[in-house]
Amino acid sequence: MSDDSHKPVLLRRERLVAAGVVLIWTILAARLVQIQGLQRKEFAHRARRQQTIEQTIPARPGDIFDRSGRLLATTTRAESLFVDPSRIDDPWGVSLSLSEAVHIDSDRLYERIGASRNSRFLWVKRRLSRDEADAVRRLDLPRHCWGLRREYLRQYPQGTLASHVLGLRDIDGIGRGGVEQAFDALLRGRDGTRRLVRDARGFVLDELDQVAQPVEHGQDIHLTLDAVVQTHVEHQLDRLMEEWKPVAVSAVVLDPNSGEIVAMASRPTFDQNDPGAGDGEGWVNRAIAAVSEPGSTFKPLIVAWALDRELLLRDEPFDCEQGEYRMGGRLLHDHHPYGVLSTADVLVKSSNIGMAKIGERLGNERLHTAATAFGFGRKTGVELPGELSGTLRPLPLWTDYSLGSIPMGQELSATPLQVVTAHAVLANGGRMITPHLFASGRHPAPSPRNVVTSRVIGEEAANWVVRVPLVQVVERGTGRKAALEDFQVFGKSGTAQKFDAATGQYSHTRHVCSFVCGAPADDPRLLVLVTVDEPTVGGPHFGGTVAAPAAAQILRRALLYRENRTRFAEDFDDAVPAR
């Protein structure tokens, strides 16, 4: 009786349980369909994101070599120290230990850690030395709160040599200044990536090589610089700084036939291996970023141009008025009173009056054309950032005053590189060649900049100016201190008065002394320009007394070195027969 009465209840309960089970299974099946079917893509994407990590493979920057394969810049690996501030239990203790190991200020580090307590990452010091990295490891700090990451460190094995030309790589590996910036795209390369599979604890299980982006290391580049000549140049500049205590000095050595820059230096300078030291003045490459009036170094250019256009004769006499000549409302002076001078002697004696008379004959329009033809007022196109174009005012702004000023190198300004490039036109027989640093023919990639060659004047006029008046400048003129026993030198001195903004007039005490010279006169192989900005001790301050001896020494050493190299190469070729 009682069993029969319980049957409907049991049956109901069974059905309830069965319905519950069916419901649960239905829910599970629906969820399965949702996960595996409807939201499959989303969950698969989420799983992939959790399991795989993308790791950057940094590209190693390319090396920089000089023309003989000497290493100027290279890259090694160094370790950088970071901490996880959120997991540091004892910030002061960690700050104290780390600061002793890596030689930084402990208070400053403590402050930085305190300010980043919610962060998971904080650089302590980047690019540690090996000793510093070892010292950090020996501290035995809790492993979860610090780490060392490997980064590339740019190194300059020649020290401060050619620092303005090379520039440097900043803390993030980006080229700043000089060749490092100009050729950054070539040198830096392209970082690669690899995707790694990791487990729940973060341990790497596998590398998904099919999706990796291969790393492209930076390309090596070869420059036209010669480290030996560059060293000679920098020694001479250091001596000039010591002897004349000027504000700055610079020098450029150029091959006039190819436009290759063999050396370029500037003082004050900076140390790429320790860029924080020194003041901001040292960062300026004065060979391309300091402008001044070219002064008398401009005179031979005007004479050559006028000769080439047959507006002037080689043996033409000019009355130099015994040192005083009134030109409109302006009274011109020469350093010494001269009577009648030939065209050559106007240059040899560097007569301002003689040049003013040549200027009167040419007129402003032709003078402007000549200055433009020699590259004044525009950048030379050298592959360096920060080059200035100098100043060549538009022709409508020129006045009668310009007839006297322009031929003697006033009323316009130029960088030392512009001046030496213009003189290269005379030295190579009349062709303007873009000065450059990228040695062509040694790279798989073409030069990033074009080297343009164009004719400015005829060969005859250029050769005469070099072989007659400019040789005589050194033999019996203002450049006698540049004479060498080994080579026949040609050259021209320049002494430009600096403009005094306070008085609005040219200063009689502040000068820019320069000397441009080359050798041998019958086949010039190298040109040297030395510019000394405002010598402050000794005297007198002329281009021929201050800059000429240094320019001649640089020229002599560079030519002798090149001759020895050629002789050695010939001996070597003779000794080792071609296979």
Partner 1 sequence: MFFRFGAALVLVILIALLGIAIEKRNLALRRSISLQDYRREQLLEQRARLRLETEQLGAPGRLLDEVEAGRLPLEVAEEAESSSVAR
| Binding segment (CB under 8 A) for partner 1, from list 34-42, 71-79, 117-125, 547-555 | 71-79
Pairing of strands 248-254, 526-533: antiparallel
| Binding segment (CB under 8 A) for partner 1, from list 136-144, 225-233, 354-362, 411-419 | 225-233
Contact 303, 358 (CB under 8 A): yes
Question: Least separation, in Å, of the C-beta of 535 and partner 1?
Answer: 25
Which DSSP symbol is given to 127?
E
Question: Least separation, in Å, of the C-beta of 237 and partner 1?
Answer: 13
Among candidates 231, 207, 219, which has minimal Cα distance to 54? 207
Interaction of residue 234 with partner 1, rule CB under 8 A: yes
Nearer to partner 1, 161 or 406 (CB): 161
Question: Least separation, in Å, of the C-beta of 346 and partner 1?
Answer: 40
Q: Is 257 helix (H, G, I), strand (E, B) or coil?
A: coil
| Binding segment (CB under 8 A) for partner 1, from list 43-51, 72-80, 523-531, 544-552 | 72-80
Question: Least separation, in Å, of the C-beta of 484 and partner 1?
Answer: 17
Interaction of residue 161 with partner 1, rule CB under 8 A: yes
Contact 425, 455 (CB under 8 A): no
CA distance 171 to 290: 28
Interaction of residue 344 with partner 1, rule CB under 8 A: no
Of the candidate residues 157, 214, 448, 538, the single one contacting partner 1 (CB under 8 A) = 157
Interaction of residue 71 with partner 1, rule CB under 8 A: yes
Q: Where are the beta strands (DSSP E) in 523-572?
A: 526-533
Binding mask 448-487 for partner 1 (x = CB under 8 A): ----------------------------------------
Task: Provide the terminal-to-terminal Cα distance of the chain, rounded to the nearest Å.
Answer: 120
CA distance 145 to 141: 8
Binding mask 46-65 for partner 1 (x = CB under 8 A): --------------x-----
Nearer to partner 1, 95 or 269 (CB): 269
| Binding segment (CB under 8 A) for partner 1, from list 157-165, 327-335, 344-352, 392-400 | 157-165
Interaction of residue 219 with partner 1, rule CB under 8 A: no
Nearer to partner 1, 63 or 170 (CB): 63
Q: Where are the beta strands (DSSP E) in 277-418?
A: 317-319, 324-327, 330-333, 340-342, 391-392, 412-413
Nearer to partner 1, 223 or 466 (CB): 223
| Binding segment (CB under 8 A) for partner 1, from list 67-75, 173-181, 292-300, 451-459 | 67-75
Nearer to partner 1, 60 or 299 (CB): 60
Phi, psi of 480 (to 5 degrees): -60, -30
Question: Least separation, in Å, of the C-beta of 263 and partner 1?
Answer: 11
Interaction of residue 235 with partner 1, rule CB under 8 A: yes
Binding mask 243-272 for partner 1 (x = CB under 8 A): ------------------------------
| Binding segment (CB under 8 A) for partner 1, from list 48-56, 66-74, 179-187, 334-342 | 66-74
Helix (H) or strand (E) holding 197: strand 192-198
Helix (H) or strand (E) holding 152: strand 146-155
Return the amino acid letter for 7.
K
| Binding segment (CB under 8 A) for partner 1, from list 3-11, 73-81, 279-287, 318-326 | 73-81
Question: Least separation, in Å, of the C-beta of 56 and partner 1?
Answer: 15
Peptide bond into 540 cis (omega under 30): yes
Nearer to partner 1, 227 or 419 (CB): 227
Interaction of residue 556 with partner 1, rule CB under 8 A: no
Nearer to partner 1, 215 or 483 (CB): 215
Residues binding partner 1: number (CB under 8 A):
23
- What CA–CA distances, in Å, run from 30 to 42, 44, 225, 532? 17, 18, 75, 87
Binding mask 74-113 for partner 1 (x = CB under 8 A): xxxx------------------------------------
| Binding segment (CB under 8 A) for partner 1, from list 154-162, 343-351, 362-370, 541-549 | 154-162
Contact 344, 313 (CB under 8 A): no
Among candidates 565, 207, 195, 254, which has minimal Cα distance to 432? 254
**Beta pairing partners, 74:** 155
Count Cβ atoms below 10 Å from residue 160 Cβ, excluding itself: 17
Of the candidate residues 151, 191, 207, 271, the single one contacting partner 1 (CB under 8 A) = 207
- What CA–CA distances, in Å, run from 144 to 89, 486, 562? 11, 70, 59
| Binding segment (CB under 8 A) for partner 1, from list 70-78, 336-344, 354-362, 514-522 | 70-78
> To which residue do tokens 């492993």 refer?
143
Nearer to partner 1, 159 or 448 (CB): 159
Q: Where are the beta strands (DSSP E) in 427-551?
A: 431-433, 453-455, 490-500, 505-519, 526-533
> To which residue do tokens 């400053």 refer?
108
Of the candidate residues 124, 136, 186, 227, the single one contacting partner 1 (CB under 8 A) = 227
CA distance 485 to 339: 32
CA distance 306 to 486: 32
Question: Least separation, in Å, of the C-beta of 363 and partner 1?
Answer: 50
| Binding segment (CB under 8 A) for partner 1, from list 88-96, 158-166, 411-419, 476-484 | 158-166
Contact 510, 534 (CB under 8 A): yes
Interaction of residue 296 with partner 1, rule CB under 8 A: no
**DSSP assignment of 458-470, as one string?**
-HHHHHHHIIIII
CA distance 375 to 492: 18
Q: Is 313 helix (H, G, I), strand (E, B) or coil?
A: coil
CA distance 137 to 139: 5
- Interface with partner 1 (CB under 8 A): 60, 70-71, 74-77, 155, 157-159, 161, 207, 227-228, 230-232, 234-235, 572, 575-576
